[in-house]
Amino acid sequence: MVGAVTNGPATSGVGPAPVAFDDAMRSYEPVLGLETHVELGTASKMFCSCATAFGAAPNTQVCPVCLALPGSLPVVNGAAVESAIRLGLALNCSVASWCRFARKNYFYPDMPKNYQISQYDEPLCSDGYLDVTVDTPEGPREFRVEIERVHMEEDTGKTAHMGGATGRIHGAEYSIVDYNRAGIPLLEIVTKPIEHTGELAPQVARAYVAELRDLVRSLGISDVRMEQGSLRCDVNVSLMPRGGTEWGTRSETKNVNSLRSVERAVRSEIERQAGVLNSGGRVVQETRHFQENTGTSVPGRSKEEAQDYRYFPDPDLVPVAPSAEWVEELRATLPELPAAKRARIKAEWSLSDEELRDLVNADAIELVAATVEAGAPPADARKWWLNELSRRATETEVELADLPITPEQVARVVALVAEGALTNKLARQVVDGVLNGEGDPDTVVEARGLKVVSDDSALGAAVDEAIAGDPDAAEKVRNGKVAAAGALVGAVMRATRGQADAGRARALILERLGVQ
Ligand code: ADP
Ligand code: MG
Ligand code: ZN
């Protein structure tokens, strides 16, 4: 639906052809705004004591308060307020000494009360910033994203359309409304308009969401799983002519659910709006829906006439008035935040910008740090997570952190290689076993019989056989052509099914043949 047009041709979904990104960037300057919802990991809901666990059977985690039955009264969840203050502090915000909840009135079938409890003109936290880093061909560049507000609200329920092929309402036989999610605490983090990013706009948007996700994770207040919807992002984009000062009309792409989609949503929206503007049209203020399959968005609801939510302070709830002492107490207990941690790790492990970037891009910093903490040298820990394990994660399409192997287990494999009990090749088989659910590295080594053959008697027999089996090579080695020993080492490795310590085998061969 596109709203009534008053002046100039309004163009949204099926509009003029998009303009290639680089061309768009020659004429326009993008302005971004990101609204991010984080579902908190509190045990109970925002205003009642219902459980919040993900994936329960529909409507098994509900009560009169979150079903909005008449006469029920909400009570604020203190742990959620504490989480909000901690995030506000980590985002360099000021924390209000007094604020209220407001009712946001609108009708939606998965919202039982006919209003959502949110915060309006009195957010708990405001005026902060988050610094993010973006890679450019000239090296890393830092951008400061200013935060307008962090406020508390409650999630809605979820509607599912059943019986159809697409899961959409069209063609469905019936719909169910599940209120388990209704009332789960949410924090909404709203940025101020982000300017001066130029062609880095898509990357800045992605880097901001990634940094915010890591920050939230480091605070331990949410599991921030974008694919499960515990972190969702609305992406606002507008364009103004290069060198201009007046912002254009923005569109708002709703519920973008992965980092990659955030980047693609910004890029495609810049291309679409540039197409509209180049053809003399005007951009419509509207919500849009991002389509994963095409990487573009389709129009949703028009926002040309602002919806009147009739906000007013919720009379059922007391104001939230955190004492200065409490806020300072929470500030003092903030953990090391991701940016500081990156800087520390970069220095401690003597990483180059590129090495740090690879770790960040692979989402491996925490995993590598934990592996180092479990005793592995940083270089080995990095190698395992960035090569072998990243490859496995990609193959099985899971996040690196979701691979069924722990940093401690990786550290144990590294230790076994360092003591010579495993070759690199055997170590990969051990990792296979661990990923297969066969148990700890030591259990896998035992069960699969993956010990390196390095004791000289067992190895000696294999060496003697190899020499007897290839007299030509042996003769060459005797005559000083040491390179020919490679063939004999190869024979030993084959005979021991790869379990020999190749260095030790080589030494034995040279010794037997009178070299050295
Ligand atoms: P709404 O409730 O309509 O979504 P909000 O104020 O909650 O409005 O969020 C709007 C977001 O868009 C904020 O991040 C804001 O900084 C940003 N924004 C505002 N104006 C523009 C603009 N012209 N272009 C891009 N982003 C904008
Ligand atoms: Mg919005
Ligand atoms: Zn409840």
**Same-domain status, 434 and 472:** no
Cα 405 to Cα 158: distance, rounded to the nearest angstrom: 33
Q: Classify residue 73 by burial, with Cβ atoms within 10 Å: 0-12, 13-18, 19+.
A: exposed
**CA 38 to ligand 2 centroid distance, Å:** 14
Nearest CA to ligand 1 atom 10: 33
Calculate the CA 383 to chain-centre distance: 21
**Same-domain status, 375 and 495:** no
Whether 319 is covered by a domain: the verdict is no
* Residue 392 β-bridge partners: none
Ligand 1 — pocket residues by CB below 6 A? Answer: 31-35, 148, 190-193, 236-238, 247, 250, 252
Nearest atom in ligand 1 to the alpha carbon of residue 190 is 14
Cα 131 to Cα 146: distance, rounded to the nearest angstrom: 8
Which strand (E) or helix (H) includes residue 154?
Answer: strand 139-154
309: which 2 tokens?
């939510």
The residue count of the chain comes to 516
43: which 2 tokens?
């045990």
Least Cα distance to 75 among 85, 84, 64, 65 occurs for: 65
**Same-domain status, 94 and 205:** yes
**Same-domain status, 274 and 232:** yes
Whether 217 contacts 163, CB under 8 Å? no
Number of domains in the chain: 3
Q: Classify residue 375 by burial, with Cβ atoms within 10 Å: 0-12, 13-18, 19+.
A: middle
Whether 258 contacts 226, CB under 8 Å? yes
Give residue-wise pLDDT tens across range 123-163: 999 999 999 999 898 988 999 999 999 999 999 999 989 88
End-to-end CA distance of the chain: 85
Nearest atom in ligand 1 to the alpha carbon of residue 252 is 4
**CA 268 to ligand 3 centroid distance, Å:** 40
Cα 184 to Cα 315: distance, rounded to the nearest angstrom: 20
**CA 85 to ligand 3 centroid distance, Å:** 23
- Highest mean pLDDT: which of 7-16, 117-126, 443-452, 470-479? 117-126
Strands (DSSP E) contained in 165-249 are 174-178, 185-191, 231-241
Domain that holds residue 300: 10-311
**Same-domain status, 297 and 413:** no
Ligand nearest to the Cα of 190, by number:
1
Whether 359 contacts 382, CB under 8 Å? yes
Nearest atom in ligand 1 to the alpha carbon of residue 306 is 3
Ligand nearest to the Cα of 149, by number:
1
Whether 331 is covered by a domain: the verdict is no
Ligand nearest to the Cα of 181, by number:
3
Q: What pLDDT is stored for residue 516 in this prediction?
A: 67
Whether 327 is covered by a domain: the verdict is no
- The phi, psi pair for 146, rounded to 5°, reads -85, 140
Q: What pLDDT is stored for residue 172 in this prediction?
A: 92
Whether 2 is covered by a domain: the verdict is no
Whether 274 contacts 28, CB under 8 Å? yes
Whether 169 is covered by a domain: the verdict is yes
Beta sheet of 102-105, edge-to-edge order: 115-118, 102-105, 312-313
Q: Classify residue 345 by burial, with Cβ atoms within 10 Å: 0-12, 13-18, 19+.
A: middle
Whether 72 is covered by a domain: the verdict is yes
Ligand nearest to the Cα of 208, by number:
1
Which residue did the predictor score with more confidence, 8 or 479? 479
Give residue-wise pLDDT tens across range 324-376: 999 999 999 999 999 999 999 999 999 998 999 899 888 899 999 999 999 99
* Mean pLDDT, the chain, whole residue set: 92
Answer with the one of 311, 327, 349 that is the final residue of a domain.
311
Answer with the one of 296, 311, 326 that is the final residue of a domain.
311
Share of the chain above pLDDT 70, in %: 96
86: which 2 tokens?
């901690």
Q: Confidence class of residue 451 from pLDDT cuts 50, 70 and 90?
A: confident
pTM, two decimals, is: 0.83
**Same-domain status, 287 and 375:** no
User: What's the mean pLDDT in 214-237?
Assistant: 93
Least Cα distance to 81 among 185, 189, 200 occurs for: 185
485: which 2 tokens?
């020993």
**Same-domain status, 368 and 246:** no
Give residue-wise pLDDT tens across range 387-401: 999 999 999 988 899
Cα distances from 193 to residues 36, 238, 349, 368, in angstroms, run: 14, 10, 37, 35
Nearest CA to ligand 1 atom 11: 33
Cα 274 to Cα 264: distance, rounded to the nearest angstrom: 15
Least Cα distance to 488 among 16, 508, 499 occurs for: 508
Nearest atom in ligand 1 to the alpha carbon of residue 192 is 16
Beta sheet of 139-154, edge-to-edge order: 94-95, 125-136, 139-154, 185-191, 28-39, 231-241, 251-256, 286-291, 296-302
Cα 121 to Cα 151: distance, rounded to the nearest angstrom: 10
Q: What pLDDT is stored for residue 4 in this prediction?
A: 38
Whether 321 is covered by a domain: the verdict is no
- The phi, psi pair for 350, rounded to 5°, reads 50, 55
Give residue-wise pLDDT tens across range 258-316: 999 999 999 999 999 999 999 999 999 999 999 988 999 999 988 877 789 999 999 99
Q: What pLDDT is stored for residue 9 in this prediction?
A: 47
Answer with the one of 272, 292, 311 that is the final residue of a domain.
311
**Same-domain status, 243 and 184:** yes
Q: What type of residue sits at position 42?
A: T
**Same-domain status, 444 and 461:** no
Asked whether the predicted pLDDT for residue 97 surpasses 90, the reply is yes
**Same-domain status, 151 and 258:** yes
Whether 132 contacts 142, CB under 8 Å? yes
Strand pairing of 28-39 and 286-291? Answer: unpaired
| Rounded to 5°, angle at Cα 156 from 153 and 158 | 155
User: What's the mean pLDDT in 87-115?
Assistant: 95
**CA 190 to ligand 2 centroid distance, Å:** 8
Whether 384 is covered by a domain: the verdict is yes
Cα 452 to Cα 417: distance, rounded to the nearest angstrom: 10
Please, which residues have CB within 8 angstroms of residue 306's CB and are 6 or more apart in sequence? none
CATH assignment at residue 492: 1.10.10.410
**What is the crossing angle of helices 424-435 and 441-448, to 10°?**
110
Q: What pLDDT is stored for residue 454 in this prediction?
A: 63
**CA 213 to ligand 3 centroid distance, Å:** 27
Which strand (E) or helix (H) includes residue 88?
Answer: helix 78-90
* Residue 146 β-bridge partners: 129
Nearest CA to ligand 1 atom 17: 33
**CA 35 to ligand 2 centroid distance, Å:** 6
Give residue-wise pLDDT tens across range 47-60: 999 999 988 999 99
**Same-domain status, 304 and 362:** no
User: What's the mean pLDDT in 233-252?
Assistant: 96
* Residue 299 β-bridge partners: 288
Least Cα distance to 12 among 278, 285, 293, 295 occurs for: 285
**Same-domain status, 227 and 373:** no
**CA 427 to ligand 2 centroid distance, Å:** 50
